[in-house]
Structure formats: structure tokens, C-alpha cells
Amino acid sequence: MSDYFKIPLRQRLEVFHHNGKKCLGGEWFDGRKQWHWIPKSLSATGCWDGRVFNIGGNACRWCSDLSGYFRNLTEVKKIIQLRHTGWYVDCDQNETTRGLVLQLAGRKPRFMAACSDPWNDNSAIVAQSLFGDSEPCARSADRLAECFADGCREDALNQTAEYRIAQLRDEIAQTRERIQELIGGIRQSQLAPPVCDEMRASIRRLRAECQATIARIARIQAHPEILVCR
């Protein structure tokens, strides 16, 4: 991790005067309303996403360059005891997120809770609050990771449900077209009555399939988790 205090003072001052307080990357307040800042320009690739979003009751922002903004990064499992190695963010259980404790540059220890971005290196979701001790920060970070994972799985499940429902609706449309073709064939044909009876039986089966598919869609809409039940 990069050390803020190893950056030459002249460079820090130049960045401070160039950016001004309103354009700096940090802007965090501790319990004593003390203002902390980390200049954006100290990292060439650093980026704080300006949008604030909520995860588990925490106001959060996404940071794409942890090493450029924080003095140190520690995984939660190295600070407190855990019964897991991460939280699954997908229904197939391929990717996980984990809690992180981020230390701000400064003589007095200040920590921020975060959870790793499973798809981008050196990136994380960072809660907008400060801690003076690493242990409560670690517990908050683990909870943040759990809530973030829950949201990711729910979103993935909803997308899977929408895709499957669209497929089923296409199947219904195709079946109904086949039913109309059979009905038209019966009306226009000179087939023997037994053959027409067989075609009418096929129509009844196809209509039953449509009804079953409609019921399947309703169940998915009510309980999308049935698509990933193991």
C-alpha cells in the first residue's frame, strides 16, 4: 500500500492548493467533526465514484484505487475471528466479497469499513463513516460485505427470473400459433372424423401446456428462488 507521508510535502501542498477542499478525494468527518482529506491527484488512476448509495443502512461510495487513497488495507479475518471466508455474491457460488478495514493517512489512527469488489482488483465499496478502533470497524465491514452479497444475489436472481419468464412467454406464443394452425387445418380439411378427433386432442394438450406454463410463470414471479434450488 502507498504511504501518504512518503509523498513529498511540496507535492502534497501543490495538490492541496490546486484542487481546493471542495475537489479533494476524501472529505470525512470523525466523531469530533474533525475534517480529513486525501487529494484526488495523488494517484494517477484513482477514482472515487461521486454517487452515494445505500447498503444495509450505510451510505457508501465505490473506490477504484484503494492503494492510492488509503494508507493500509487489512482483511477482516486478520482482525476478528470469522466463521467464513467470504460472502457469495452469485447464486452459483463462484464469486465472493469479503470485509476490509481501510486506514486513512494521519498521525491518529482512523479506519473505514469496506467490502471488496469481486470483479475489479484494488477496488471496494466503502462505507462513509470513520472508526477510531480497528475491531468495531472490522465487524461493521463484515456486516457490510454480507449485505452487499445479499443484494448482489437478489439482483442476479431477479435477472435470471426475468430471462426465464421471457423464454416461457415465447414458448406460450409459439404454442398458441400451433393451436391456431391446427384449428384452421380442421376447418379447411376433408379429413376423416377420427383424424379430426386426434387433432382436437392435440389442441387440448397444447392448451393444457399453455396453462401449465402460465402457472409456472406465476410461481417464478412469486418465488424466483425456485430457479436456483439445489
What length does the chain have? Answer: 230
For 157-227, CATH number? 1.20.58
pTM of model > 0.85 = no
User: Is the alpha carbon torsion for 205, 209, 214, 216 positive or negative?
Assistant: positive
Among 20-29, 162-171, 178-187, the range of highest mean pLDDT: 162-171
Does residue 88 surpass a pLDDT of 80? yes
The more confidently predicted of residues 191 and 22 is 191
Q: Where are the domains of the chain?
A: 4-152, 157-227
- Please work out, in degrees rounded to the nearest 5, the angle formed at the alpha carbon of residue 194 by the alpha carbons of 207 and 196: 45
Q: By CB neighbour count within 10 A (0-12 exposed, 13-18 middle, 19+ buried), where does 160 fall?
A: middle
Tell me the average pLDDT of the chain: 79
pLDDT at residue 60, as a whole number = 86
**190/183: higher pLDDT:** 183
Pairwise CA distance, residues 40 & 38, whole Å? 7
